[in-house]
Chains A and B, each alone.
Chain A
Amino acid sequence: MDDSAKALPHEDALPEALIDLLSRVSRPGRYVGGEFNARQKVDGHPRVVLSYPDVYEIGISNPALQILHTRLNDDSSALCERAFCPWPDMAAAMRAAGKRLWSLESYADVGDCDLWGFTLPHELTYTNILEMLDLAAVPLHAADRGDGDPIVLGGGPGTANPLPLASFFDAFFVGEVEDRLSEIVAAFAATTRAQRLTDLAAVPGVWLPGSRAPAERQVFMGFSRSLPVTEPLVPVLEAVHDRAVIEVMRGCTAGCRFCQAGMWYRPVRERPVDLVVEAADRTLAATGCDEVSLISLSSCDYSGIEAAVTAIRALRPGLRVSLPSLRIASAAVQLARLGGEQRGSVTLAPEAGTQELRDAINKGVDDESFEEAVRATFTSGFTGLKLYFMIGLPGEDESAVRAIAEMAVRAAAIAKRIARGRARLSLAVSSYVPKANTPFQWERFAGTSVLRERQALLRAAVPRGVRVSFHDIGASVVEAALARGDADASALIESAWRHGARFDGWSEKFKLDAWRAAASELGQDLDEIASRAPAGDMPWEAAITARIDRDFLIAERGKAATREQTVDCRTGACALCGACLDDVQMDVVG
C-alpha cells in the first residue's frame, strides 16, 4: 500500500437530512459507505450507480458488483457509486421525511445519475427493484421516464429471462459485461435520452424492451488473462462473507440439467494458477483477510486446484483456503487437502435421493462416492455436514423423497461411528423451480400441495438428531411464477409491491398474501401461474439468444427421461451445447 496515495479525509460531512434519518433506524452504517479500499474519485462522466436489490450486507459481497465498480472507476471516465435497498424501517423514515434514495459515496440522489445499473440475482429480489425506483423518485415504468431520469439497465443471471422486468427497465445487458463497459460508457457521450438508448442498442449484448432483435449473450473471453479485483471494497460493518474472494473459473460443464448457471455461463474458462496466486497475495494485503475463498460454479473442477491451494497456503502462516462447494465424486481427495486444521462444516449436494433421479438430473453421484465423501468429512476433522437436496424435481415420486431420508440415516451412522457425539448433520431442502434456458424449462413446477406433502413425508422420515430445514414453499411459488414469466409478469410484480411485498427472499419479510392478492387483482391464481409449463417458443427467445442450442436442451430433456447421462465435455466428447462457437471456446489451464 502506498501511504502517500491514501489521503484520508478528515471531514466527510454527511448531509443534515441524512443524519436525522440515521438516528432513527436500525444499523445506520448500512447507508453511509466508508469501506476499506473505497475509491475517492469525485468527478467523472457518466455518473453511474450500481445496485444489488437487497440490503447492504448481502449486496456488498456480490462479486459482480465489485468487478464493475472497480473497472468503471479505475479504467473508465465514469464515476461509479453504489446504492442498496433500504431496510423497511429506513424506507418508512425516508418516505416520512421526503428524502430520496442516495448513493453511498457522494450521498447524492440516485435519481440524478445518468445510468442506474441493477444486477438481477434472482426473482425474489424483483419487488426490491421497484422499491428502490420509488424511493429514488424514478418513474417505475420505462415508458414514463424522460430526459431528467437515469437510464435503468439490468444485468446478471436474471437476464436469462428479462421479460418479467421489461416494463421497468430501459435496457438489459445479456451476459458478461467486462468487454463491453467502454462501449456502454461511450453511449453516454450523447446528451439526449433517446440518443443514448439508440447508442446503447448498438452495443452487442444490449436488448431494449420492445426491440425485435434479440441480444446475444456475451462471453468474456479475456477472463483467463485478466487479474481479478485485488482491492475490493471491504465493509466496516459485518457482512455475510468476510474473506478474500478469487474467481478461479467461470462456467461449468458438469451439465446438471436443473442448473441455470451451469448452462448460462458456458463455456468454461480458467485463470492460470500463477495469476490466481498473485491475486490472492494482493487481495490478502489489501483486505486484511485471513481466509481465501476460491470461487466458481464448481471450484473442485478447476484444473489447477491442487497447485493453487498449495501455493496460496504457503503465502501466509495459518491462512485458510476454502472452496464454496465440493463435488461429491472428488470430495474425499479435496477434504483431505483442506482438512487438518480445519474446523466447522462441509456442504455436499447430492440433490436427489435415488440413483435413478440423480442420473435424470445428470448429477453423477453414486451411493458409494456419497458415503466415501461423508466418511472423508469426519475423518478430516470437520464436525458438521450439511446436505443439500431438492424436492419437486421432474420424475420424482414419494419413494425418491423417502430415499433422501435413507441417505440421511446412512450419513448419520457414519458420522456417529467416526465423530461420535461431536458430529452435526443437517439437511437443507429446497423446492425445485424450473428455469429458463435449461433442459427442464418445459417442465411443470410441482406446486404447493405436492411440495407440502413431500416436505411432510421427509420431515417424518428423517432420523432424530438430524436437523432439516425447508425452503418456504410460498417463496418457491412466487419464484416459479416469475422464472418463466412473460411480459405480463410485470403487472404481477408491480401489484405485489403495491400490496407490500418487499425482501421476498427474507423469510421474516416474505408476504405470500401480498402476492396472492396481486394475482387475484389481475384475475389470476398465483399457483396456477406458477404451474404453467410453457410450450412451443419460449417467451424470452424474443429478447435473448442464450448461446445454448435449443436442440441440445431438447436432447438433454429426452436423456433425463431415459436416465441417460451426459459426460462433462472437459473429459468426454463435445455435447454440442452450442456455447463454443468461433472466437468463444473453452479455455482451461494447461
Chain B
Amino acid sequence: MSHWLVRFDRHGSACYVSHLDTARALQRTFARAGIALALSEGMRPKPRLSLGLPLPVGAAASDELAVVEVVGECADISAALRALRAAAARGIEPHSIAVVEAHPHPVALAATYECTLAADAAAVSAALTRFANASQAVVERVSPKGSRRLDLKEFIEEAWCRPDGDATRLGFTVRHRQDGAARPQEFVDLVAGYAGVEAVMRALYRASVTYKGLPAQGRAGQSIGAT
C-alpha cells in the first residue's frame, strides 16, 4: 500500500456537485485511470479515499485535498498523475500527488474564502469595520435537528474587501475548531445585512485550507505537480 495526498481543483459546472459526489467522482477517476484504491475492511468495503474538508456546493477551489491509499507502490508518479488527469471529470481535476510515509489524518485549522457581493466597496468596508468593532456577532443556525447559536467573532480570523467592477470582492478566513466552524454563507449574510444589500454570494472560491498534522507538500515524499 502507498499513501498519497492528491491535490485537485474544482471549477465550472463541477462546483455544483456535493461533497459526497465529489468524493465519488474522484474514486471513479482512479478506477478509470486504472489505479486501484485500497479497500476498507468489513462486510461492505469502501475505497480508502477521503476529502480534507467539505467544500460548499457552488464553491470553486484550486487546492483541495484528497487522502488516498493505493494498492501497491507506484514507480512513476508523474505517469499516474497524467492518467488521473486524463480520466478526470470536467472540473474535478487532480493537479499534484505527494507520496507520504504513513496514512495522514489531516485536521482543518482554517479555510480562506473569497466571494463577490453585489454591493458598493465602501458599504462592505464599513460593514467589516462594524464587525471588527463588535464585541459579539451572534447568528442562529436552524436545522431539522434544532437550532444553534454561534458567535462569528470566534470563527472569523480576518476579513477584507476590494472593489471588483461595480461589485465588491469579499475575502475572509474561517477558523475551524473541534466543535465545528462558521459557514461562509453565515458570515456573508451578516456582512450583507450590515451593508444593507442582498446576501447573494457570487463566485465563491476557497483559496486555501490549513491542516494540522499534514506534511507540507513535497517534503515527506515524492511530489509531482501538473505542468
Contact = CB atoms under 8 A, between A and B. Distances in A.
Given A1-B32, A31-B16, 16 more contacts: A6-B86, A8-B93, A12-B12, A12-B13, A12-B90, A22-B58, A23-B200, A27-B18, A28-B57, A234-B28, A236-B24, A236-B89, A238-B20, A288-B30, A290-B31, A343-B43
A286 B32 contact: yes
B201 A1 contact: no
Nearest to A26: B57
Interface string B17-37: 110111011011111101000
B82 A32 contact: no
Contacts of B12: 9, 11-14, 34
12 contacts: A1-B86, A12-B11, A20-B200, A22-B58, A23-B58, A29-B16, A34-B12, A34-B91, A35-B89, A36-B25, A238-B20, A285-B34
B32 A3 contact: no
A288 B18 contact: no
Given A33-B13, A38-B90, A236 B85 contact: no
Interface in B17-69: 17-18, 20-22, 24-25, 27-32, 34, 43, 57-58
A589 interface: no
Nearest to B86: A3
A29 B87 CA distance: 20
B90 A8 contact: yes
Interface of A: 1-3, 6, 8-14, 19-20, 22-23, 27-29, 31-36, 38, 234, 236-238, 285-290, 343
A236 B87 contact: no
Contacts of B22: 236
Contact of A29 (B18, B32, B83): B18
B195 interface: no
A12 B91 contact: yes
Nearest to B83: A3
Contact of B21 (A19, A20, A237, A290): A237
A1 B89 CA distance: 13
Contacts of B88: 8
A32 B91 CA distance: 11
Contact of B82 (A3, A238, A286): A3
Given A1-B32, A1-B86, A343-B43, A14 B11 contact: no
Contacts of B21: 29, 236-238
B13 to A, nearest CB: 4
Contact of A10 (B11, B29, B82, B86): B11
B202 interface: yes
Contacts of B202: 19
A23 B57 CA distance: 9
A31, A36, A286 — which one has the most chain B CB atoms within 10 A of its CB? A36
Nearest to B47: A290
A472 to B, nearest CB: 26
Contacts of B13: 12, 14, 29, 32-34
A167 B92 CA distance: 44
Given A8-B88, A29-B16, A288-B87, A36 B24 contact: no
A13 B58 CA distance: 13
B99 interface: no
A27 B17 CA distance: 8
Nearest first, the 3 A-B pairs at minimum CB distance are A288-B31, A32-B13, A12-B12
Nearest to B185: A23
A237 B83 CA distance: 22
Given A23-B58, A343-B43, A236 B92 contact: yes
B98 interface: no
A27 to B, nearest CB: 8
Contacts of B17: 29, 34, 236-237
A23 B87 CA distance: 28
B25 A236 contact: yes
Contacts of B85: 3, 8
Nearest to B14: A34
A13 B29 CA distance: 22
Given A23-B200, A34-B89, A288 B16 contact: no
Contact of A9 (B31, B90, B201): B90
Contacts of A34: 12-14, 17, 89-91
Contact of B32 (A2, A22, A287, A343): A287
A317 B44 CA distance: 16
Contacts of B20: 238
A31 B25 CA distance: 17
Nearest to B44: A343
A13 B91 CA distance: 11
A288 B28 contact: yes
Nearest to A13: B12
Contacts of B31: 287-290
Contacts of B24: 236, 238
B201 A288 contact: no
